[in-house]
Amino acid sequence: DIQMTQSPSSLSASVGDRVIITCRASQSISTYLNWYQQKPGKAPKLLIYVASSLQSGVPSRFGGSGSGTDFTLTISSLQPEDFATYYCQQSHSAPFTFGPGTKVDIK
């Protein structure tokens, strides 16, 4: 199985900050990488697919990059509604494993 790791596991940031979350796969997954946002008590929401494609309706301050084993999710200017937990997920091969999550909270 492909293992996914994320760093940091949590971070504190202020509104307007640039936030970068990294995700690493245990083997090369090309660009078979998706990012999801989850707020407490809510279902996950797709942000980015194929490593860098922005899902319809997602603000352009969210961006994804990377290929192979290393990926990043960037929030260019953090907004109040962005405080949440972010998960990467590989879709290269089953089981379609998720990373452990990165919690973004208010500094």
Partner 1 sequence: EVQLVESGGGLVQPGGSLRLSCAASGFTVSSHWMHWVRQAPGMGLVWVSHIDSNGFNRLYADSVQGRFTISRDNAKNTLYLQMNSLRAEDTAVYYCARGNTYYDFWSREYYYMDVWGKGTTVTVSS
Q: Which is nearer to partner 1, 24 or 45 (CB)?
A: 45
DSSP for the chain reads ---EEEE-SEEEE-TT--EEEEEEESS--TT-EEEEEE-TTS--EEEEETTTEEPTT--TTEEEEEETTEEEEEESS--GGG-SEEEEEE-SSSS-PBP--EEEEE-
Q: How far is the CB of 21 from partner 1 (least distance, A)?
A: 14
- Binding interface with partner 1 (CB under 8 A): 1, 31-32, 34, 36, 38, 42-46, 49-50, 53, 55, 87, 89, 91, 94-101
Q: Which is nearer to partner 1, 28 or 77 (CB)?
A: 28
